[in-house]
Structure 1
Amino acid sequence: MNIEESIKLVYKAIDDKQGEDIKILKIGNISSLADYFIITSASNERQVKSITDNIEKELEEHDIFVRAKEGTSSSNWILLDYGDYIIHVFKTEDRQFYNLERLWKDAEEITVEAI
């Protein structure tokens, strides 16, 4: 599975658990951290965990495993590092506070259809 197919799978896994305001930022041309950030919001901590669990489950079914995970089941922000892309699942208020989209404003925002 290539990176584009994998990102589409992540997008679907987020959408299946009603993740809100899903953004895909192409950061590879401005950072060596990863090629993409995928950012989404959830209304509460349980939904944050549900979304991250679903992402991990869906990717593991395709033999894609998380390299690093930051945050816990009671967190307002969980980060999943898959090497080529990093997924940020925020509780809505924390996403507004940290505002990664503003911090990475030079990144190109792309749609899942454009991948």
Structure 2
Amino acid sequence: MNQSVEMVKTAFNALSDKKGEDITIIDIQNVSVMADYFIIASGTNSSQVQAMVDNAENELGRKGFVCKQMEGYRSANWILMDYGDIIIHVFDRENRLFYDLERIWRDGKTVELEALDNL
């Protein structure tokens, strides 16, 4: 399994463990040089959004992956975590609808977690 896929699976499960909603994986390898994957998830309030991010950072850290940059933690309406190969976006519901990253990155390919096992 390549590093990007391992990071995506770890992050997905960490966000899911904290009851993240509508977790979406977008493969952007053929669309951008910025990263291989985006993970987009929602939480119901700022405390949950922060808990999701904390858990993702802890679980990725346990596997030796270091967050290069994090933005928005204090306000917790959109937190961006940059791991180089993957970028994690955790929103509250309202801001996820407003920014609609899935529409902006529609040229990427939405991937199911199970499909990553075949990569």
Once the two structures are TM-superposed, the CA of residue 5 in structure 1 deviates from its matched residue by 1.8
Q: Does 2:31 match 1:30?
A: yes
Whether the 8 Å CA contact 1:79–1:89 is kept in 2: the answer is yes
Q: Secondary structure at the match of 2:65?
A: coil
Cα deviations across residues 46-67 of structure 1 (Å, max 9, x unaligned)? 0110000000000111111100
* Structure 2 counterpart of 1:11: 12
Aligned mates of 2:23, 2:91 — CA distance in 1? 11
Q: Secondary structure at the match of 1:106?
A: coil
What percent of counterpart residues are identical? 48
Q: Which amino acid aligns with 2:95?
A: D
Whether the 8 Å CA contact 1:71–1:78 is kept in 2: the answer is yes
* Structure 1 counterpart of 2:98: 97
Once the two structures are TM-superposed, the CA of residue 15 in structure 1 deviates from its matched residue by 0.5
Any gaps of 5 or more consecutive residues in structure 2? none
Any gaps of 5 or more consecutive residues in structure 1? none
| TM-score, scaled to structure 2 | 0.93
Q: CA RMSD in A?
A: 1.0
Aligned mates of 1:78, 1:99 — CA distance in 2? 14
Aligned mates of 2:108, 2:17 — CA distance in 1? 26
Whether the 8 Å CA contact 1:46–1:74 is kept in 2: the answer is no
| Runs of 4+ residues deviating >3 angstroms | none
Aligned mates of 1:51, 1:89 — CA distance in 2? 8
